[in-house]
Amino acid sequence: MNAWARFRRNRLALIGLALVLVLALSAALAPWIAPYDPARQSLFEKRAKPGAKYLLGADEFGRDILSRVIYGSRIALLVGLLSAIIAVGGGLVLGTLAGFIGGWLDSVMMRAIEILLAFPYLLLALAIVAALGNGAINTTIAVGVWGVPGVTRIVRGSVLVLRETEYVGAARALGAPVAALLRRHILPNVLPGLIVYATLFMANAILLEAALSFLGLGVQPPTASWGLMVSTGRDVLLIAPHVATVPGLAIMLAVLAFNLVGDGLRDALDPRLRGST
């Protein structure tokens, strides 16, 4: 049975996939499905409760929350996916190098990682924004770069263990080339945990982008980002909770979607690995 078939049998994973599709469609078709212009303000209708006119209510400027959530899916997908790709890509390469080659390279890299981990995240973001300017893409890069040390350490840890397993040892003794070792033995065992971590990382990424946007380093007004909507809705949390909670739930659904898909991928790919010796 191949991976796709196994995936298909996993109901939760399919639900996740469906949600991801909804998200993608939302982002792609935003101008056509959003009931209002997301930047259209109507100050005297501020914080309107969900109702007939504004299905999910209005924010502090009287802008329709539903429309902003729909448009916000674009930023969420960008931030979530791109930063995860940067973090995972970078971390995978560096972690594998460190774990597999070991020795002084590992030592140097781990010290560099320690420097990066101690480096205040806010400072990193400010630096990237100062260098590249603000906006969603640059904050995404900042978030992605911030994620690299963590992934590196996780990958390195796994690679260390796998390097010492019997079948890898045997394969090396038999003279298998490094590339094949990586591709057939090590990486497939590293990937499952990594996929799960990546999907969880996306939640963090979206929330970090929220904090940065709130400080003015991310999207600029009047662009809608779920994270920024939650951050600015914080002032009125006690009297108009829907302003912050609705985008928060959107974040949760997106994270859930990717997490379900991730777990499904992980479970689907797993049995195939055991047979690879």
Q: Taking CB under 8 A as the criterion, which residues in 127-186 touch another protein?
A: 127, 130-131, 134, 150, 153-154, 156-158, 160-161, 164-165
Which x/- pattern, by CB under 8 A, does the window 56-85 give for another protein? ----xxx-----------------------
Q: Is 111 in the site for another protein (CB under 8 A)?
A: yes
CA–CA separation, 186 and 168 (whole Å) = 8
Report the alpha-carbon angle 107-111-114, nearest 5: 140
Question: Residue 81 gets which letter from DSSP?
Answer: I
The b/e string for 16-50 (b: 16+ C-beta within 10 A; e otherwise) is bbebbeebeebbeebeeebebebeeeeeebbbbee
Between residue 204 and residue 223, which ones bind another protein under the rule CB under 8 A? Answer: 204, 206-207, 210-211, 214-217, 220-222
- Choose, by CB under 8 A, the member of 5, 52, 123, 174 that binds another protein: 123
CA–CA separation, 175 and 182 (whole Å) = 13
- Choose, by CB under 8 A, the member of 25, 115, 132, 180 that binds another protein: 115
Q: Is 51 in the site for another protein (CB under 8 A)?
A: no
Q: Is 120 in the site for another protein (CB under 8 A)?
A: yes
Q: Report the residue number, 85 or 167, with the smaller CB distance to another protein.
A: 167
Q: Is 101 in the site for another protein (CB under 8 A)?
A: no
Between residue 21 and residue 40, which ones bind another protein under the rule CB under 8 A? Answer: 39-40
- Choose, by CB under 8 A, the member of 50, 90, 188, 193 that binds another protein: 193
CA–CA separation, 151 and 8 (whole Å) = 28
CA–CA separation, 6 and 110 (whole Å) = 38
Q: Which residue has the tokens 């990066």?
A: 116
In 3D space, the residue among 161, 155, 140, 150 whose CA is nearest the CA of residue 113 turns out to be: 150
Binding-site residue total for another protein (CB under 8 A)?
88
- Choose, by CB under 8 A, the member of 114, 132, 178, 272 that binds another protein: 114
Q: Is 266 in the site for another protein (CB under 8 A)?
A: yes
Those residues with Cβ within 8 angstroms of residue 222's Cβ, 6 or more apart along the chain or in another chain? 38, 39, 63
- Choose, by CB under 8 A, the member of 8, 46, 172, 184 that binds another protein: 46
